[in-house]
Amino acid sequence: MSGNGGGLKKQLVVKSMFVDMLHLELQHANELLSSTSEKAASDASNELSKVRLKLELEERKNFDQGMYVRSLEVELNHLKLELESDNEEIGGLKSDVERLTDDPQKAKLEMDEIRGRENEEQFEIALLKSELHKGRSRIATAEAAAERAKSIKSGLYLAFQTLAIEAEENRLSKEGTRKVAEDAEDPIFQPRIN
């Protein structure tokens, strides 16, 4: 009988060592899981902060470009008014030319000068229209970049949610494993030896 009791003690010691080894492996796995989840959450948070900063910069840039476009539009309207005024002046000068039949050379010089100014103003209007088009193009590009940033932000949010779900599943799995280990140590579940 004492030989059988010594064998049982050896089995108990071996099983106890096996359980301790399993506890150490479980603890190591939990530490690895915890550090991986924290790093992934930290990386996602850092990336989200970068995207937010880029989005704010793009919004500021859009606002500045919008103000620039508005100022160009105001200047264009001002030049249109000047052009209308100049066209009225040209009309008045044309009637003056008809009256100035006694001095056609002088009238011709004045008309050339007026045409030169009109050409310069037409050129300025063309340049302003070009600048306006460029500004609108920049705004469209910035808006597209903002949409891309929103899309990235949404993707990061989904990735963060997925990581949170995985962390919760790992936590629940860890609790289940711990419960099974506690049940295995409970004397009710130990086999009886006669």
Residue 146 sits in a domain whose CATH number is 1.10.287.1490
Per-residue pLDDT tens digits for 128-151 = 999 999 999 999 999 999 999 999
Q: Is residue 194, in this structure, part of any structural domain at all?
A: no
User: What are the structure tokens assigned to 103, written together?
Assistant: 């001095």
- Determine the structural domain holding residue 129 and report its residue range: 2-189
Predicted model pTM: 0.30
**CA gap 148, 131 in Å, rounded:** 26
**CA gap 192, 194 in Å, rounded:** 6
Contacts of 26 by beta carbon, 8 Å cutoff, 6+ apart:
174, 177, 178, 181
Q: Is residue 184, in this structure, part of any structural domain at all?
A: yes
Per-residue pLDDT tens digits for 10-60 = 888 888 888 888 888 888 888 877 777 677 767 777 887 887 888 788 888
Q: Is residue 175, in this structure, part of any structural domain at all?
A: yes
- Number of structural domains the chain divides into: 1
| For the chain, the helix, strand and coil percentages under 3-state DSSP, each to the nearest 5 | 95, 0, 5
Ramachandran angles phi, psi of 159, nearest 5°:
-65, -40
Q: Is residue 45, in this structure, part of any structural domain at all?
A: yes
Q: Is residue 104, in this structure, part of any structural domain at all?
A: yes
Placement of tokens 């030319």 in the chain: 97
- pLDDT of 100 reads 63
